[in-house]
Chain A
Amino acid sequence: MLEGLVDSISLSSLTVITIGVFLGILVGALPGFTATMGTALLLPFTFTMEPLQALAMLGALYVSSQFADAVPACLVNTPGTPSAMATALDGFPMTQRGEGQKALIAAGFSALVGTAVGGLVFLFLAEPLASVALKFGPPEFFWVGVFALTIIGSIAGKSLVKGIAGGLVGMLIGTIGISATGAVSRYTFGQPDLRAGVNIVAALIGVFALPQVFKMVSERRKNVHIATYRRSAGVALRTVKEILRRPTNLIRSSLIGAGVGVLPGAGGPVACLVSYNEAVRWSRDRSKFGKGAVEGVVASEAAGNSCAGGAMVPLVALGIPGSAPAAVILGALLLQGIQPGPQLFGSRPELVFGFGWTLIIAGFVTFVASAILAGSLARMVMIPVRLLAPIVLFLSVVGSYAIRNSMVDVYMMIGIGIVVYLLGKIGVHAGPIGLGVILGPIIEPALVQSMALAKSSSVPHVFLTSPLSITLIALTAVSTAWIIWSNQRERRHAEIDD
């Protein structure tokens, strides 16, 4: 393990990590560009590198892009990736309050801690956790998705019923196109272009960015700028101290992220949403979430970054990538002639542990970069709305187009954006719709595969008997009961206040 540490702090390793971090920040900060895209584009350039440096560069890009997607999410309410949706819920209200710089630094510091926790989990617990991950089958993934859905209770706004309706609409949007399990064309209305389905990132840009543009336009006379920027000396230190004063949220979110990351296929969005939900649930003052609570940004970003480390566990220990960028890193390993698996810990320990350390170092470089860049980036909000609104519209169109070089994704994005804006006017919030768009494609395949399994036994046997399923059902029940109880309590308090 120490040999790996020495290798990872060599000048050449630090150089490739720094390059990877800055490329990751570029990829993450552009709406529509994902870590998968970035790692895939970088892959050919790593072929001639030493194996550890190739992995370090790809890992650094992965880690820093997980942080950088917080930049558009916090500053202009545009989550560039599904993982950043939960960050936008509190990051953008912070920016509106003039705390954009603080939001970005909180995201950067959470990324550092999250990456460190994910890296340490990878270094010390990879082998035992990998065997647990293998016990997750379709029914367990179904319940993970249902558990994540309970976050609707936290982000629905005043009406839980409308929040659930929004979540259902989001999940229905995700069913358009060829079904993932049976290859059946659904809801394409005779349009061949719709067979490819609605891209999640394009849909999320439509759900969050376009309504934000419309809101900027409608308020342009009242608000010349989208938010104010207040220069604040020593904000980095103050923010870090504030987060560390109550470290439970940070640690809990990092552990949730690492745990979800270990599960192949669950991915960053689920990690961020589940940890955000838990942050709300365990908070003494739930009402501050969604209105600019730094804890919300911390929960989402810590989980997203620790998920990156967690996703490396099944990749290296079993050869199963835990996320799409991890699949590209698997490709890098294979290109280097390295076969991942349990034997790798014995045959190439310096590579395995060196990779774990480089992830942690990348988290540190990301935090330094975020602290340096946060002030300049936060000034973006001072661009007048008359210029910012068309630029965000342009980025939304380009981001949606760039995913698959397809104008259909742009049309979808605009259509969804207009519908979500109008639904917002009648009290259906964007958050639950975005949540449905993300979780639908996770829940449906798990449900269908579980039902197929049930053909040879029974539905209750498949869904309700494994210890993991029972645990997840219990968590879902507790979470739902808590939402109902806390909503009733808030309503009673509101009535007393009235």
Chain B
Amino acid sequence: MQRSTTEPVSMSSKPDDQETPATVAGDETRGRQIPVEILTGVIMAGVAALFLLNAGSTKLDWLFPIVLSYVLLAIAVVLILRGVLGFGGKIPLVPPILRGHGIDVLVFAVAAIAYAALTPYVGFWIMTGLVITGAAVYLDTQRSLKRLIIAAAVAVAVCVVAYLTLTEIFYVEFPLGFLDQ
């Protein structure tokens, strides 16, 4: 039986999902990495278990999610076995997600969560302005006062255009936070 190869390969075949070189496993971390099939299998098994353990008993209402969960569980087992036994060709290693620019992604994800969580309290105008300006400055590789002003101007323009279009034409009610009082 052939053991799974430790050769790191790119995970995707499509341009929109191509990995950056920084996310591909590097030599110095190979020893700590696990085959990607095992991690995928464990995650899928976890999802299937979550849905199975919380399923109810009335037959027709739960039939679909229960069947889906069992099929997902079966696939998870196949993936784990493939990762452990190494059949079916080369198996890539789990890429170090937080290495390199992964930390930027983490910061941006936290910013997105904070934006959504705080907007109802702080309001659309202030939060949108802060997030767009702050993100533009954070992502800028050549920070300067001029570029800060451009970022702030873009934020204000986006806010005004979006607010007028969405409230006046589409009747969307934005949370205004303490500005509402």
A is bound by B: yes
**Residues on A facing B (Cβ under 8 Å):** 26, 30, 33, 37, 41, 77, 92-93, 96-97, 157-158, 161-162, 164-165, 168-169, 171-172, 175, 179, 181-182, 184, 186-187, 189, 210, 212-215, 217-222, 290-292, 385-387, 389-391, 393-394, 397-398, 401-402, 405, 407, 410-411, 414, 417-418, 421-430, 440, 443-444, 447-448, 451-452
B54: which A residues are within 8 A, CB to CB? 187, 189
Task: Determine the distance from Cα of A162 to Cα of B175 in the docked complex, in whole angstroms.
Answer: 40
B101 contacts the other chain (Cβ, under 8 Å)?
Answer: yes
B61 touches A179 (CB 8 A): yes
Q: Mark B1-26, 1 if CB is under 8 A from A, else 0.
A: 00000000001111111011011000
B78: which A residues are within 8 A, CB to CB? 161
B126 contacts the other chain (Cβ, under 8 Å)?
Answer: no
Q: How far is the CB of A38 from chain B (nearest CB, A)?
A: 8
B44: which A residues are within 8 A, CB to CB? 165, 169
Closest residue on chain B to residue A491 by CB atoms: B89
B56 touches A401 (CB 8 A): no
Closest residue on chain B to residue A495 by CB atoms: B89
Q: How far is the CB of A184 from chain B (nearest CB, A)?
A: 4
Q: How far is the CB of A300 from chain B (nearest CB, A)?
A: 15
Q: How far is the CB of A313 from chain B (nearest CB, A)?
A: 29
A220: which B residues are within 8 A, CB to CB? 101, 104, 139, 141
A41 touches B64 (CB 8 A): no
Q: Mark B77-102, 1 if CB is under 8 A from A, else 0.
A: 01100000000000010110100111
A222: which B residues are within 8 A, CB to CB? 20
Given contacts A217-B108, A426-B11, 17 further A-B contacts (CB under 8 A): A93-B16, A175-B51, A182-B58, A213-B108, A218-B101, A219-B20, A291-B14, A387-B150, A389-B108, A389-B139, A390-B132, A390-B139, A390-B155, A397-B116, A407-B175, A426-B40, A429-B14
B166 contacts the other chain (Cβ, under 8 Å)?
Answer: yes
Task: Determine the distance from Cα of A429 to Cα of B171 in the docked complex, in whole angstroms.
Answer: 35
Task: Determine the distance from Cα of A386 to Cα of B71 in the docked complex, in whole angstroms.
Answer: 42
A444 touches B13 (CB 8 A): no
B122: which A residues are within 8 A, CB to CB? none
A162 touches B40 (CB 8 A): yes
B12 touches A429 (CB 8 A): yes
Task: Determine the distance from Cα of A158 to Cα of B16 in the docked complex, in whole angstroms.
Answer: 14
Known contacts A187-B51, A418-B109; A424 and B17 CB within 8 A of each other = yes
Task: Determine the distance from Cα of A291 to Cα of B17 in the docked complex, in whole angstroms.
Answer: 10
Question: Which of B16, B75, B155, B162 is in CB contact (< 8 Å) with A168?
Answer: B75
B120: which A residues are within 8 A, CB to CB? 407
A157 touches B170 (CB 8 A): no
A398 touches B162 (CB 8 A): yes
Instruction: Point out which of B22, B68, B71, B155 has the most chain A C-beta atoms below 10 A from its C-beta.
Output: B68
B145 contacts the other chain (Cβ, under 8 Å)?
Answer: no
A169: which B residues are within 8 A, CB to CB? 44, 47, 72
B136: which A residues are within 8 A, CB to CB? 386-387, 390
Sample 8 A-B pairs with CB under 8 A, ordered by A number.
Answer: A26-B169, A182-B61, A210-B112, A218-B100, A221-B101, A387-B151, A401-B174, A448-B64
8 smallest CB-CB distances across A and B, nearest first, come from A390-B135, A386-B139, A182-B61, A218-B101, A184-B61, A427-B11, A175-B65, A444-B64
A410: which B residues are within 8 A, CB to CB? 116
